[in-house]
Amino acid sequence: MGPRCDADVMLSISRTFIAFLAFLSFVFMPLIFDTWLVRFLASDHQAYESFFYSFEIVSGLAWYLLLLLFLYFSFYWLCRRFLLKLLPASLHSMRGIRLLIDLLLILYVYASSLVLFPDSAFSYAVAFLPSPMPVFIAGSVLLLLALLRQLAQSKCIAGAALLLALVFLLPYGLLYAIKPSVLSQHIDRPHIVVIGVDSLSAYTAEQYSVQLPNISSLMASGYQYERAYTPLGRTFPAWVSLLTGLEVAEHRGVFNLSDRKQPALHDNFFKTLASQDYQGVYAMDERRFNNMGAEFGFDQVVGPMPGALDFLVHGLVDNPLGNLLLQWPGSRWLLPWSWNNVAAYSSYSADMFVKDVLAAIHTEQPLMLAVHFQSGHFPFKSRHTRDVFQHENQMFQRYIRALQVVDDQVAVLLAGLQQRGVLQNALVVVLADHGEALGELEADLQRNGESFLVQSYGHGTDLLSDHQNRIPLAYVRFLDGRPVGEPQQIKQHVSLNGVRDIIEHFAQTSDLLVMPETPCFFVETGLRIEAASDYTTLDDMDVASEGAIFYDLIDGELVLKADKLPQLLTAKDIGLRCRDRVTWFSARESAFYSVGLDAQGQPMTFIDVDEQDRRRINEYRQSYLNWTEDN
């Protein structure tokens, strides 16, 4: 090969690379005015600077970028080459023919996103394409014909295609094609399954049971509690309370992304059951704010890899080829922060997550499985939603539609557990970590002669809100694959803290107890971000900017700053929820209030503060102050 030939090759490579860069620029041009990166650069981003001094962050972002560049270059080079081969050789040198092919490929990328991933941010940016389906079908047929022609003409390409197909199909065979294992019939201990539904309020479960048939019918088959509450309406504190049976001030998992070391030191029902030879599986399809791991006694954790990258990479991968890659099981290794992640809502596969949960079950041990489904959490987006439920409150409409995705997942999970023999002898617990308020007016009270509206958005912000704090809770006993026992509506006033005792007693005796009445228990608010106080005006970047100052980056994970604890703890509202009243200290007003409740737990009227309630709340608040002084 002479110098002239070398020069021609280099020129061809250069032209191809320049053409690819132009192609890539045009593909992503619609995102220029809509991308998270532009909004990030326009925001006050000093709080994020430490991210880019972390090797874990920089290397993870670099890996995602390089993988996406490789995907797009491979797609561009192969499609361009195959389409050129469809044309007569005399047209290859025609001016503008390659540019025409590039423009057609760009349109095909746009159409593919709109058809396959309509909820993608990329799809919203290219929604100007009027009729994507014909473009998608025509482009797919044309590319398939081009590929088949190349396979017929070239043994080399045919061999490479066969190898690529084997590599692509291998993860399916390894993970899902194998017949599911049936649990050993010699296991004499009952299995225990906890199904958590993020943000499902008791109000929603009761009033919209028709829209959630699988969850509703499951709960109606057992002991269903009408007055169950979360001690703190945030996922991590609520789950630590559930596992340990302790008040939040005792276990000290006070905020999402708190340091996990102290909460993990406490005993919990996973650790107790592990000592009785139970296999402990914890599964959650979004771990940004609840990153519990093996330190809590889990033998296996199913879900996306936790860490600060979870907050950054979804904007990178939310594009046609990135979303398509995430449908492939091999992506669990290539894109671990995005795999099985509800936060990547445009690509998240609801069925794939449940399959991964079921694949984690062993065959020779009794099972302690806890699954927490996150699709019902704000922003209430999923590519699996059905446009059936209608409501005048658009946010509530999105909320119910997102919960319907979880309802379908619960049905798939129960079918899989049935197939594996888990429900031959099991206790299934259905619950939520907290409820959700969506601007609905819950009550109009009078305080000091003025109207006081119980009306809010979100969770963990308002101790008086029934929608935020009252949660569904049900225990269903299964024998021979069916619910047994007489269903009951139980009126006891209970907290998530009491679940541990019921589970541990059942594991030991196979006897399902009714949770005892808890006359009063402590409740408290979480970290309140002003930018998130109204969902109708919420901006992700504003929320991130306001919240980022409270966190450190440690070994690639976001952790609440220890020196911010005193400020955050003193900003908490702390209360005592009793059957007939809620009494609380308002940190913003530095005052105590008490509201009487009716028989259903709904707020009725402001009442005088009971001095014993005041004393107990002050003692609880003082325990936080003592803790911060010790640190």
Of 429, 307, 433, 304, the C-alpha closest to 370 is 429
pLDDT value of residue 359: 93
| Under 8 Å between Cβ of 592 and 616 | no
Look at residue 185 in the predicted model and tell me its pLDDT.
67
Taking the C-alpha atoms of residue 585 and residue 573, their distance in angstroms, rounded to an integer, is: 6
The secondary structure element, H or E, covering residue 571 is: none
The whole-angstrom separation of Cα 201 and Cα 215 is 13
Residue 137's pLDDT is: 93
Average pLDDT over residues 38-56: 58
Cα–Cα distance measured from residue 272 to residue 276, given in angstroms and rounded to the nearest whole number = 7
Q: What is the pLDDT of residues 394-426, one digit of tens each?
A: 999 999 999 999 999 999 999 999 999 999 999
Report which of 176, 179, 181 is spatially closest to residue 330, judged by C-alpha positions. Answer: 176
Of the two residues 537 and 235, the one the predictor is more confident about is 235
Residue 94 corresponds to which tokens in the numbers above?
Answer: 């025609």
Per-residue pLDDT for 122 more than 80? yes
Pairing assessment for the beta strands 470-479 and 482-483 based on DSSP bridges: antiparallel
* Predicted local distance difference test score (pLDDT) of residue 171: 59
* pLDDT-wise least confident of 209-223, 300-314, 414-428: 300-314
Q: Look at domain 191-304+340-630 and name its CATH class.
A: alpha beta
Q: Are 21 and 77 in contact (CB under 8 A)?
A: no
**Most confident among 91-105, 442-456, 542-556 (mean pLDDT):** 442-456
Best CA proximity match to 347, nearest among 369, 370, 380, 314? 314
Q: Which of 313, 289, 291 is nearest to 301 (CA)?
A: 291
Do residues 337 and 313 make contact, with C-beta atoms less than 8 angstroms apart? yes
Q: Is the pLDDT of residue 142 over 70?
A: yes
Residues 434/442, Cβ–Cβ less than 8 Å? no
**Other CB atoms within 10 Å distance of the CB of residue 137:** 12
pLDDT at 181: 66
> Percent of the chain, pLDDT > 90?
62
Please give the pLDDT value at position 43. 52
**Cis bond before residue 320 (omega within 30° of 0):** no
User: What does residue 465 show for φ and ψ, rounded to 5 degrees?
Assistant: -75, 120
pLDDT (tens digit per residue) in 471-494:
999 999 999 999 999 999 999 999
Mean pLDDT of the 4-19 span: 71
Task: Give the pLDDT of residue 291.
Answer: 83
- What's the confidence (pLDDT) of residue 469? 98
Query: What tens digit of pLDDT does each residue of 259-286 get?
Result: 888 888 899 999 999 999 999 999 999 9
The Cα 492–Cα 223 span in angstroms is 11
| Residue 341: closest CA among 302, 369, 303, 381 | 303
Residue 32's pLDDT band, with cuts at 50, 70 and 90, is: low
Bigger pLDDT: 253 or 316? 253
146: DSSP letter: H
Q: What angle do CA 545, 565, 250 make, to 5 degrees?
A: 130
- Secondary structure class of 85 (helix, strand, coil): helix
Amino acid at 496: L
Contact, 143 vs 56, CB < 8 A? no
Task: Kindly list the distances between the CA atom of residue 601 and the CA atoms of 208, 578, 582, in Å, as whole numbers in the listed order.
Answer: 19, 9, 9
- pLDDT confidence band for 157 (50 / 70 / 90): low
The residue-averaged pLDDT of 510-519 equals: 95
Query: 33 pLDDT exceeds 60?
Result: no
- Residue 21 is encoded by which pair of tokens? 């860069």
- Please give the DSSP secondary-structure letter assigned to residue 497: G
Token code pair at residue 301: 């954790």
CB 412 within 8 A of CB 354: yes
Residue range 534-575, pLDDT digits in tens: 898 887 777 877 888 888 888 888 889 989 999 999 999 999
pLDDT, position 190: 96
Q: What is the pLDDT of residue 254?
A: 94
Q: How confident is the model at residue 309 (pLDDT cuts 50, 70, 90)?
A: confident
In this prediction, residues 445-462 reach a mean pLDDT of 95
User: Quick check: helix, strand or coil at residue 262?
Assistant: helix
Residue 88: asked if its preceding bond is cis (omega within 30°), the reply is no
pLDDT for the residue 174: 57
Contact (Cβ atoms closer than 8 angstroms) between residue 291 and residue 30: no
Beta-sheet strands, E only, within 67-220: 191-197
* Residue 446: predicted pLDDT: 94
pLDDT, tens digit (0-9, with 9 covering 90-100), for 79-89: 888 888 887 77
Computed over its alpha carbons, how large is the radius of gyration of the chain? Answer: 27
Q: What is the pLDDT of residues 359-399, one digit of tens each?
A: 999 878 999 999 999 999 999 999 999 878 999 999 999 99
pLDDT at 631: 62
| Predicted local distance difference test score (pLDDT) of residue 183 | 65
pLDDT score at 8: 60
pLDDT band at 48 (very low <50, low <70, confident <90, very high): low
- Tokens representing residue 551 in the block: 């966190």
Q: What confidence score (pLDDT) does residue 340 get?
A: 94
Read off the tokens for 109. Answer: 């990328």
| Position 41 pLDDT exceeds 60 | no
In the structure, what pLDDT confidence band is assigned to residue 207 with cuts at 50, 70 and 90? very high
Domain residue spans of the chain: 3-177, 191-304+340-630
Q: What is the mean pLDDT of the chain?
A: 88
Question: How far apart, in whole angstroms, are the C-alpha atoms of residue 400 and residue 183?
Answer: 35
User: Mean pLDDT throughout 336-359?
Assistant: 94
Within 8 A by CB and 6+ apart from 337, the residues are 60, 304, 305, 307, 309, 310, 313
pLDDT, position 455? 96
The CA-based dihedral angle spanning residues 212, 214, 216, 217, taken in that order and rounded to the nearest 10 degrees: 150
Reported pTM: 0.92
- Please name the amino acid found at residue 305: M
